[in-house]
Chains A and B, each alone.
Chain A
Amino acid sequence: MLRFLVNRILQGCVLILIVSMIGFAVINLAPGGPLSQYAMTPGMSQADLDRIAHQMGLDRPLPVQYLDWLGNMLTGDWGRSYRDQSPVLDVVWRHLGATLLLMGTSTAIAIALGTMVGVLGALKRYSIFDYMATVGAMIALSIPTFWFGLVAIFIFSLELGWLPAGSMYTVGDQSLGDYLIHLIMPSLVLALVNVAIWSRYMRTATLDVMHQDFVRTARAKGLPRWRIVSAHIVRNALIPMITLAGLQLPTIIGGALVTETVFTWPGLGRLFIDSLGYNDYPVIMGLLMFSAILTVIGNFLADIGVAFADPRIRLG
């Protein structure tokens, strides 16, 4: 077990290092730079831009800049945003809440709906409902999320006027209801794909559990059907899903990226798109690192989850 742990941690570190090198190289070797957006400022001259680049250390050789950045990062200093001069970790932290709120809500919806659809599909295997759910899941996996979001905005905001077209809250009215009404569309749109994935997995897991001995025993004991389903089948089918949840961890920022863009949600995805637009190198690198670390942790947890969940399923 210890060997496994050490091995995985080492692997994770190498992975993160590779991501950082690729990211740093691509960002810095590409033509242009973080100062070019200021070229059109009235009165700006090349001399000013050169001076500022020098003050920021952007004219140093790339390996020097990388090692400098890496050294600082290891000591917890992820640099400062070019855009607002605050430390990168602060910037990430300030946008994390919005993303967690959106992801949390949408994951909750996805789990609830996905479990329901999956279990029902398994119980009524080969029924019209099951068939529709299967086809529906395939289509849901095929629709571009951003387009689904656009269509939703068109129908529910612009045509019907029922829901706000974007933002997280109305300024001045930060009540719970206000947050909720702003959450509805983005979280449902984001949940769509996850409902599809979750329901597919849940259906398979339920089918597996249904043929286990303890279910047969429960049925023989004459327990009511709803109790067998809720207390035995669903509960046991959910165990392997923990692994799936672990694997979903890294998608926390990535998954919401497009949805945040369409619904102008002030989360990490938006931050990333904005930072790309402004060439805010430290923040781009910070988010790359953040997502790489999350990915490593997510995979690690999923592996542990498998190790723990497997024997329990076999033991039934």
Chain B
Amino acid sequence: MKKTPLKPFDPKSPMTHPSRRGFLGMTMIAAAGLGLGGFPRGAKAQASGQVIVGISQEPTVFNPHLLHIEVDEGIHWAIFDPLFSVEPDGTFAPRLVTEVPTVENGGVSADGTEWRIRLKEGVTWHDGTPLTAEDVKFTLELQKDENFRAARRTGHELIEEITVVSDTELTWKMSSAFAPYMAILSWTFIIPKHAFGEGVDPNEAPFNQSPIGTGPYKWDSRAPGDNIQLVANPDYYGDGASIERVVVKYVPDLTVLYTQFRTGEIDVIALQGISPDHYAEATALPGKEVVLVPVGTVETLSLNLANPVLADKAVRQALYLGVDKQTVIDALYYGLPTATETYMPQQSFYYDDTLPTHVYDPEEGKAILEAAGWVPGSDGIRVKDGQRLSFVCSTTAGNHVREQLQQFLQQSWLDMGIEMEIANLPPAVMWSDHWMQSQFDMAVAGIIFLTGPDPDTTDYFHTNAINAQGGAGQNTFQFSDPRVDELLIEGATTVSPEARKPIYAEIQQTIREELPFLPLFQRNEVRGHAEALQGYEPNINVRITFWNMQDWSWA
């Protein structure tokens, strides 16, 4: 598989080269500045045709700041724009702003606490209202609104005061520097203030069902439980879409989804993609292009370090040695995922490729257990100090491949004298207190550790992020290491990528050594589309594979 090295954003260097779209957008603005304001609309090619995108989950949340799932973001990317976006290579490209704020161009102060944003001129909402700095202010302030059920406040909470300088310029102060905020902003879609009048409950505003954005596509219609239709925005400030109509079709069953792709009823299989067992067959389909797309999700066997058995590092090492990872990947996952030793996506600039590679060696595992004092009891299960080497593994009930994985591991580990019970839970139970308050022993979990391209993982590894110990975060492993805590804080407040890289390499080495989770692999999604469709570009830095529909075109 081809690896795209991920170059980080560096506010100190002018390396934020704009994408093609962004570049053209800027040229237009420049042209406007030269008195060529009446740039004829006719110059833009008329959008035509339609594309049908098949997905296996239904997008239902159209206000990008309410709690939503990843599939909703496919729609958000089409309808809205962030101030700047993160491109597949990890760089930031301007969208609504004239240039990405950096220390060099004065957009960010040297200490990282003062920001200035300049918006493009002449950008309008889908209803014709011009975009102003007030909209940006509204969007950022909405995140902190007492009554608004904002999905996330991280980063936004640090903003202290926002000043609207003019219709196209605003500034704000932050209570402290926060390196990941660039990445967070690249996911923060700007929404129109005028859609939320006085006295309108932002949670229940009509906007939430018929969104108005500045993006390349406009909301057209929704047939609940079936499809959503979008039409090209002819007044888009950028290049605009070349396909006139997008139909996002919800097909809950993967087999039906694949069948419809095979027969040409849908042009693109996006979310969930083609199920692995159909991959080989799909690559041979005439007129279809089938590609593996890396995503940021790392499949883990997450361990609860507060469990008396799993607290023993020897046990964790033995468990890892007993995982026949290659067979799991080849047989259960049809060889599609990429084996990994870390939580960091391999495409990231911060990925440490020097980590020791896992080997499948159950004999070595047994030796480690013997040495640590775990000896077989009368029933063949190892015992130490009266404690049986036994634990429960849980995951989302109904996830068949994971259930298969569990049963395979159960058999492998039993041969080593390790007993694993399987108790799967419905998703609502699995990921509630059971997960967040570390009530599991071992959990099969696919985790996206990063927010966009930023390597910060304080939420996952910092001692203060252990919910079960009164913290707030996602450190459900209950992993605690003073050195890692220090490194995490240092990393989050260090701005230069070159300086951050060794920090995060050390964290990855410690995690690999301590094994708070057994890393299995980084997921690859099998994406398929009609050969004639061009411009479908994956982006590991966003959560959804159909993020750039405005760049799609029919050959």
A residues adjacent to B (C-beta < 8 A): 30-49, 51-52, 55-56, 80-81, 83-86, 91, 94-95, 98, 157-158, 164-168, 170-172, 264, 266-267, 270-271, 274, 277, 279
Contact = CB atoms under 8 A, between A and B. Distances in A.
Contacts of B148: 55
B224 A266 contact: yes
B25 to A, nearest CB: 28
A172 B50 contact: yes
Interface string B455-487: 000010000010100001110000000000000
A172 B245 CA distance: 11
Given A31-B432, A43-B184, A270-B225, 15 more contacts: A30-B429, A32-B429, A36-B431, A40-B431, A40-B447, A41-B67, A42-B450, A43-B152, A45-B474, A51-B153, A52-B149, A56-B149, A91-B224, A166-B253, A264-B253
A84 B472 contact: no
B226 A266 contact: yes
A39 B184 CA distance: 18
A95 B180 CA distance: 42
Given A42-B450, A167-B251, A170-B265, A98 B225 contact: yes
Contacts of B260: 164-165, 167
B209 A267 contact: no
Interface stretch (B6-14, B403-411, B433-441): B433-441
A283 B203 CA distance: 17
Contacts of A51: 153
A32 B225 contact: no
Nearest to A56: B149
A165 B431 contact: no
B401 to A, nearest CB: 17
B259 A158 contact: yes
A84 B209 contact: yes
A39 B435 contact: yes
A84 B429 contact: no
Contacts of A48: 151-154
Contacts of B425: 32
Contacts of A33: 428, 432
5 contacts: A32-B434, A45-B473, A48-B153, A270-B252, A277-B427
A95 B222 CA distance: 12
A165 B256 contact: yes
A316 B36 CA distance: 90
Given A171-B247, A264-B252, A39 B431 contact: yes
Interface stretch (B58-66, B94-102, B366-374): B58-66
B428 A37 contact: yes
Contacts of B226: 167-168, 266
Contacts of B185: none
Contacts, number: 157
Interface string B215-243: 00000000111110000000000000000
Contacts of B67: 35, 38, 41, 52
Interface of B: 50, 52, 58, 60-63, 66-67, 69, 147-154, 184, 203-204, 208-209, 223-227, 247, 249-253, 255-256, 259-260, 265, 425-436, 445-451, 459, 465, 467, 472-474, 543
Nearest to B70: A41
A174 to B, nearest CB: 10
B225 A85 contact: no
Contacts of B147: 55
A42 B256 CA distance: 30
The 6 closest A-B pairs by CB, nearest first: A266-B225, A32-B428, A36-B432, A84-B60, A32-B429, A47-B472
A264 B467 CA distance: 39
A158 B226 CA distance: 22
B491 to A, nearest CB: 15
Contact of B152 (A36, A44, A94, A158): A44
Given A38-B67, A85-B66, A172-B247, A45 B459 contact: yes
B441 to A, nearest CB: 17
A153 to B, nearest CB: 8
A48 B65 CA distance: 13
Nearest to A167: B251
B60 A83 contact: yes
A95 B451 CA distance: 36
A85 B256 contact: no
Contacts of A47: 472
A9 to B, nearest CB: 33
Nearest to B184: A43
B542 to A, nearest CB: 11
Contacts of A39: 431-432, 435-436, 474
A55 B202 CA distance: 12
Given A166-B256, A171-B52, A34 B450 contact: no
A55 B149 contact: yes
A267 B153 contact: no
Contact of A36 (B69, B151, B251, B430): B430
A83 B52 CA distance: 23
Given A84-B224, A98-B225, A274-B252, A38 B265 contact: no
A172 B265 CA distance: 10
A41 B247 CA distance: 26
B255 A44 contact: no
A277 B147 CA distance: 27
B426 to A, nearest CB: 7
A85 B208 contact: yes
Contacts of A85: 61, 63, 66, 203-204, 208-209
Nearest to A280: B60
A56 B225 CA distance: 25
Contact of B151 (A40, A41, A84, A168): A41
A283 to B, nearest CB: 11
A289 to B, nearest CB: 19
Contacts of A167: 226, 251, 256, 260
A169 to B, nearest CB: 8
